[in-house]
Amino acid sequence: MQKRILIVGLIILGLFVPAFSQNVKIGYVDTDRLKIEYKEFADAQAKFERQMAKWQAQADSMQAELLRLQEELNTKSGLLTEEKKREKEQYLLKKQGEYQEFANQILGPEGEAAKREFELSKPLIDKINAAIKLVALRENFTLILDTAGGNILYADEGMDITLKILEELNP
């Protein structure tokens, strides 16, 4: 009985899959390539990297000061009065707190850097998605996949529409 159901299922599948597959047009896009070759996106990325470099320089400067203060405390600890030693330790703790606060506010997962990157990239990602939709509708694609996530292990190069999307984005 199970064998008959399997055979009937395969026959039905055999009848409908060819008809369905004739109307399906699939393409793929390499969004990593788009982000590199789409001029506006590359410009936004460069702008973000310049800002990140400034923030990183500030963080590096704060870390260097912390190291200097820690080293100064370690080397001069024996020469200081207890009161002066406590003052320096409190100052060091204050500076460590300032650094931690800076790191969280700027470099943390929900910090200024993440917000700025989103702010710069969101409109451009929306433009990329709109260009993909435009090409898909114009050329009657049923499905467009993205190779950037590594989920497509193989696809015929003729299905790659990345260049068409770039032509829409970089007229």
On whether the CB atoms of residues 69 and 95 are closer than 8 A, the answer is yes
Distance in angstroms (rounded) separating the CA atoms of residues 105 and 63: 16
In sequence order, what are the residues at sequence separation of 6 or more whose Cβ sits closer than 8 angstroms to the Cβ of residue 72? 88
Q: Look at the block and give the residue holding tokens 């702008």.
A: 47
Distance in angstroms (rounded) separating the CA atoms of residues 25 and 93: 63
pLDDT in tens, 69-121: 999 988 887 888 889 889 989 999 999 999 999 999 998 999 999 999 999 99
Q: Which segment, 12-21, 25-34, 151-160, is predicted with the most confidence on average?
A: 25-34
Instruction: Give the CA diameter of the chain.
Output: 94
pLDDT of 139 strictly over 60: yes
Lowest average pLDDT, out of 39-48, 118-127, 143-152, goes to 143-152
pLDDT of 25 strictly over 50: yes
Q: Which phi and psi angles does 94 have, rounded to 5°?
A: -60, -45
Question: How confident is the prediction for the chain on average, in pLDDT?
Answer: 87
Q: In this predicted structure, what is the pLDDT of residue 70?
A: 93
Q: Please measure the distance between the N-terminal and C-terminal CA atoms of the chain and give it in whole angstroms.
A: 62
Q: In this predicted structure, what is the pLDDT of residue 155?
A: 86
Instruction: State the pLDDT confidence band at 22, using cuts at 50, 70 and 90.
Output: low
Residues paired with residue 9 on neighbouring β-strands, in sequence order: none
Distance in angstroms (rounded) separating the CA atoms of residues 35 and 39: 8
Instruction: State the pLDDT confidence band at 152, using cuts at 50, 70 and 90.
Output: confident
User: Can you say how many angstroms the Cα of residue 61 is from the centroid of all Cα atoms in its chain?
Assistant: 27
pLDDT of 13 strictly over 90: no
Q: In this predicted structure, what is the pLDDT of residue 8?
A: 40
pTM of the model: 0.71
Q: In this predicted structure, what is the pLDDT of residue 47?
A: 96
